[in-house]
């Protein structure tokens, strides 16, 4: 499916067309700048707030069950919030108004996240779950309008580079916030005031969302594209707006989320409780993944714009299956950091492909609905994955004997990580072939595309120069 033509008619006089195009660009530019600024503030919230929610849950004596619910429940509520967001969008004067109040809700949600578990520690994990659920409800309520607000300012062939550049800036900012948070927590832990470190980080996260709301007020909104089925909403969209291609993509995306989230909530347990890493070591492990994203996001964006997001998903979907299996090989901190660095490299491409494929697969007026539907099916996969992981963590043995080969990791979690990798491989191998690239891109055989991948392309160019 190609992008609908939003330019002026070819019958428009040349001078008028240039003037109109220039005027249109002037209206687009403040929104593009806002998207970058919002990314900066959001990155601080993620790196110094969201990334440490699981660690704060452990401080509140959370169990694996609590961590699973902490991961799954906010996403399910968030998916519901996106569906509601699309349905009630007509109640707001503009998309900007809807986004603004979503930002304010996110900002205020950090107060109960921090305060309630500290005031009533006996119910700490459950109160934290409630606060985080509130936060992600506001976050997802904002998402459809935000995506529509930004993508209306971008051409189809520049989305990959724009979002890659934005994500790259976010990755660096998030890394700095993450490292600062790890150092702050280690400092406060030495002085037996760990809660002070979390308080500083979470309050800063809330203030950053308020800053995004402030800068949003300075951005003019564009007229929202009207959909012929806007009055019928999701029913008509499900019947006529979702192609077979998009349905198969949604199945792939939801099952990939299931395979990933069956282990994602438990890495914090493995790192802090099983391996006894210091907070700065845990922060460095997390930061390595962000650095991996930072150095490769522009290349992934160029790859997706040039060769299509389907090709992007094909390579990253297969490679991402290998990553969790590597945790069976060693517990050395340096090895774990390297593995997570390459994890960041692969997830940068996979996340970019999953997001941008949604924008390409539907008409402009249906993007908000498509984002909401995609988030909903991903949240279902997310929740089922965490439930499956919670069951497996109490079922998978802590050691394995295969003839002369005996495996005795520090806990059963590396086995769980390996199972997650196998499931990712099955999902990718069976479903990637069932959907196609929805827009016209440069054709290239997969074996030739291999040398266009980030890290490999510069290596090949260096080898050719030396020859």
pLDDT in tens, 31-44: 778 888 888 999 99
Give the mean pLDDT of the chain.
82
229 within some domain: no
> Residue 467 above 60 pLDDT?
no
The model's confidence at residue 1, banded by pLDDT at 50, 70 and 90, is very low
Q: Using an 8 Å Cβ cutoff, are 79 and 144 in contact?
A: no
In sign, the C-alpha dihedral spanning 435, 438, 443, 447 is negative
Other residues' Cβ atoms within 10 Å of the Cβ of residue 186:
17
7 within some domain: no
The model's confidence at residue 241, banded by pLDDT at 50, 70 and 90, is low
11 within some domain: no
Q: DSSP label at 407? A: E
**Which pLDDT does position 379 carry in this prediction?**
84
Q: What are the C-alpha distances in Å from 92 to residues 95, 102, 153, 375?
A: 7, 12, 20, 22
Q: How many Å apart are CA 176 and CA 8, to the nearest integer?
A: 44
Instruction: Please tell me which residue, 228 or 389, carries the higher pLDDT value.
Output: 389
Instruction: Please tell me which residue, 149 or 346, carries the higher pLDDT value.
Output: 346
4 within some domain: no
> Residue 48 above 70 pLDDT?
yes
H-state helical runs in 2-94: 14-48, 53-59, 64-87
β-bridge partners, 400 = 407
Domain containing residue 444: 27-220+239-466
Angle at 136 between CA 196 and CA 48, to 5 degrees: 35
CATH value at residue 454: 1.20.1250.20
The winner for highest mean pLDDT among 148-162, 216-230, 245-259, 374-388 is 245-259
**Which pLDDT does position 104 carry in this prediction?**
94
**Which pLDDT does position 111 carry in this prediction?**
94
Q: What's the mean pLDDT in 63-75?
A: 81
Query: What's the number of domains the chain is made of?
Result: 1
Q: What's the mean pLDDT in 152-162?
A: 74
> Residue 133 above 70 pLDDT?
yes
The model's confidence at residue 220, banded by pLDDT at 50, 70 and 90, is confident
> Residue 396 above 70 pLDDT?
yes
Other residues' Cβ atoms within 10 Å of the Cβ of residue 122:
10
H or E element that contains 312: helix 309-319
22 within some domain: no
**Which pLDDT does position 208 carry in this prediction?**
94
The pTM of this model reads: 0.68
Torsion of CA 68, 71, 76, 82, to 10 degrees: 180
Q: What are the C-alpha distances in Å from 250 to residues 160, 163, 218, 238?
A: 20, 21, 36, 13
Residue 34 is encoded by which pair of tokens?
Answer: 């806002």
**Which pLDDT does position 5 carry in this prediction?**
34
78 within some domain: yes
* Residue listed under structure tokens 């030396």: 466
* Residue listed under structure tokens 């007026």: 365
H-state helical runs in 325-366: 333-361
Q: Using an 8 Å Cβ cutoff, are 293 and 168 in contact?
A: yes
Share of the chain above pLDDT 90, in %: 30
169 within some domain: yes
Q: Using an 8 Å Cβ cutoff, are 412 and 396 in contact?
A: yes
Half-sphere exposure of 394 (CA within 13 A, CB side): 9
Q: How many Å apart are CA 311 and CA 12, to the nearest integer?
A: 37
* Residue listed under structure tokens 């062939």: 157
5 within some domain: no
Residue 386 is encoded by which pair of tokens?
Answer: 């965490």
Share of the chain above pLDDT 70, in %: 85
Q: Using an 8 Å Cβ cutoff, are 358 and 371 in contact?
A: yes
Tens-digit pLDDT profile for residues 423-462: 999 999 999 999 988 887 777 766 677 767 776 665 555 4
**Which pLDDT does position 223 carry in this prediction?**
61
* Residue listed under structure tokens 């694996």: 64
> Residue 17 above 50 pLDDT?
no
């Amino acid at each position: 499916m190609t992008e609908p033509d939003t330019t002026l008619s070819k019958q428009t006089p040349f001078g008028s067309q240039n003037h109109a195009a220039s005027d249109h660009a002037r209206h687009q530019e403040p929104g593009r700048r806002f998207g970058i600024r919002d990314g900066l503030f959001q990155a601080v919230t993620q790196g110094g707030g969201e990334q440490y929610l699981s660690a704060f849950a452990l401080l509140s004596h959370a169990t694996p069950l609590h961590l699973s619910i902490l991961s799954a429940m906010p996403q399910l509520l968030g998916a519901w919030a996106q569906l509601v967001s699309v349905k009630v969008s007509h109640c707001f004067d503009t998309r900007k108004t809807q986004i603004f109040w979503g930002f304010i809700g996110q900002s205020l949600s950090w107060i109960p996240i921090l305060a309630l578990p500290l005031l009533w520690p006996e119910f700490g994990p459950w109160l934290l779950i409630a606060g985080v659920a509130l936060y992600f409800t506001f976050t997802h309520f904002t998402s459809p309008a935000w995506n529509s607000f930004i993508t209306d300012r971008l051409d189809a062939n520049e989305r990959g580079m724009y979002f890659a550049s934005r994500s790259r800036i976010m990755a660096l900012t998030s890394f700095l916030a993450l490292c600062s948070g790890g150092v702050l927590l280690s400092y406060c832990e030495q002085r037996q005031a760990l809660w002070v470190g979390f308080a500083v980080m979470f309050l800063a996260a809330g203030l950053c969302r308020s800053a995004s709301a402030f800068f949003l007020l300075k951005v003019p909104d564009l007229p929202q594209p009207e959909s012929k089925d806007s009055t019928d909403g999701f029913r008509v969209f499900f019947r006529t707006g979702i192609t077979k291609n998009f349905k198969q993509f949604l199945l792939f995306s939801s099952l990939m989320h299931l395979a990933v989230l069956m282990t994602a909530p438990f890495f914090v347990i493995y790192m802090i409780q099983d391996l006894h890493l210091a907070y700065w070591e845990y922060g460095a492990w997390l930061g390595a993944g962000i650095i991996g994203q930072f150095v490769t996001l522009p290349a992934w964006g160029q790859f997706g714009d040039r060769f299509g997001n389907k090709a992007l998903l094909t390579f990253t979907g297969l490679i991402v299956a290998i990553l969790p299996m590597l945790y069976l090989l060693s517990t050395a901190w340096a090895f774990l950091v390297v593995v997570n660095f390459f994890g960041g490299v692969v997830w940068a491409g996979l996340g970019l492909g999953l997001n941008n494929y949604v924008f390409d697969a539907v008409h402009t007026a249906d993007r908000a609905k498509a984002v909401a539907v995609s988030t909903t099916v991903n949240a279902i996969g997310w929740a089922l994955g965490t439930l499956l992981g919670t069951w497996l963590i109490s079922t998978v043995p802590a050691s394995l004997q295969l003839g002369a080969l005996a495996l005795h990791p520090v806990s059963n979690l590396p086995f769980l990580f390996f199972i997650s990798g196998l499931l990712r491989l099955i999902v990718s191998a069976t479903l990637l072939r069932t959907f196609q690239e929805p827009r016209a891109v440069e054709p290239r055989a997969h074996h030739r595309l291999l040398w266009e991948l980030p890290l490999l392309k510069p290596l090949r160019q260096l080898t050719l120069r030396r020859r």
